[in-house]
Chains A and B, each alone.
Chain A
Amino acid sequence: MPALHFSTDRYRALVLGSALLLLQGPALIAQSPALSGAARWADTVRVTIERAVISGSTSELVAAGALAERALTAFPNDALLLHYRAYGLYREAQRDQSRGPAWKAMTERAIELLERSAASQPLPETQALLSSTLGMLASGSMVAGMRYGSASKEAGAAASALGPRNPRVLLLAAISSWFTPKMWGGGEDKGYAMMQRAITEFANDAPARPLPAWGHAEAYAWLGQMELKRGNAAAASGAYAKALELEPGYAWVSQVLMPAVAARQ
């Protein structure tokens, strides 16, 4: 009964999120002494989402979302808070394989928030996330592809124009290319080359808080998968090791990707 399973997960995530907020919310906020107002809250949400992504915890993602929603009641038009709320939803949508009505509502809310954020402060990451989220919707069916495909491309082009060397833009574009057939402008070779570029750019990436700073370890996690698909198991292991060096608690790499390489070897 997948629906019941999902509801139970959701309930557990909400309880966990509330508990984490009660205890850690003030502490997390206090960890941003140099920032004030909306920026302080945005940085807190940013850190909470990243912690959730690295630990692989859906409930922590939901908790981060609750934190962002709370902050948005005080700063309803803050571009970064809107961005991070959408980013949290994007990460949740990535993990929800059901592709059901709740997933669609989540992605559509993320798109609405990203569009509002982009209208207020055009960040390359906002356009890149918009492109990826629209791309997720476009992959649903041929009709959805016709409806969302061109908008996804436009947002991708806007992201590249705003941040041609932004590593997160390159990372999302590389993943998109990897899964896009050659005839539609993608291809695995193109995705692989773009991922290499993203990793090169991550080496010089030092965004000021509270701007987006995610993706460095994730780039190695995707590179590892690409290497594995290309038959380079050793290179894949190396990429995963690099990802864990950057984020030792990266559960996706340590619990899913690394064991997959080991099983193949």
Chain B
Amino acid sequence: MNGADTTSMQISLNRILTIFKRDFQDAVRDARILLMILIPFGIGVFYSFAFDDDTTTPTATVVYFSAGATTLPETMSRIAGGTVDLTVREVADANTVRQQIDDGDADLGLIVPAGFDAAVASNASPALDVLMTDSQDLGANYLAATVQPALREMAGQPEPARVSFETVGGEAETLVIDRLGIREYFVFAAILVQIAMIALLAMPSVLAVEREQRTLDALVMIASNREVIIAKACWGLVYIAGSVAILVLVADLIPVEPLPFIAGIGLLSLALVGFGLLLGRTMSANQLNSWGGVLLLPVIAPAFIIGTPAPDWLTAAANLTPTAMGARLAINGLAGETLFASAWLSVLGLLIWTVAGFGLLTWRMNRREA
């Protein structure tokens, strides 16, 4: 940026919009740029359809026949809580219970004799038939384990001990992949790759080619360097926003809390766009083609270190990167709960990275022009 550009501070929205529109249209005609955008999109769509275990909460269906009124299924359901996604069906007779278990239509069957609840309450030890399939389904096994506690509760027997569970050792002891589910996790991974590829490969390539082919010189005959950079940044951000939005919709990756998700993705994109423009001003198009893919690895990797049982030093280092900061915010939004604490630190960190990226870019341009 030359001295006059810096002092005059005259920014023309018309010129920014004109450059932005040209870049936007030109990228559609550039097969290389299109591939950089479409590959991660394709991967995300593939993950979305390849994995359907959107959640790790096991499911189970209970079918029961009771000769009289019983609260057993309801008690079991209460004890299971949110740990099992439970469906309870009452049928007309015991044979139907057996048939549905045999057909695999239900995971657990209960045949409850008449007067069962009263017999349990009087500690008469009534008979109870529990039918299960021979599969090792997690939900069915967990549900079977709730039968005895339910019966103790119905018998009015106190619990042997009051057990309280507490999570210690900080945040995200549960693996993020377990919390989000494989499908969400990998689609989210594809989104991060998509952001990184647009910000750190596609956009720098466009800028580097303009620099090398000297079309940039033609632009700055009327536009300022500042206007060119703003237009390129807008191009990158709009492409990121558009492609992420499409992938989110196609993959049905709707965040429970949109605000932290959008903040994480948006601030991460802004920070990476700054560094992408710096790459575009610094490296040649050939260097970007050769080394761009390698550069992506250390940028993307930290997002997949956090929320895993990695060594503390590695997690601490990863947490300093913009990708991890953006991922922490976005994952919180996806999960709808605070899996990663201190969101404000992530926001602050991302803002610092953004200022650093654009600051280095300005310094580089000043140094080059002067």
Q: Do A and B form a real pair?
A: no
Instruction: Report A's interface with B, CB cutoff 8 A.
Output: none
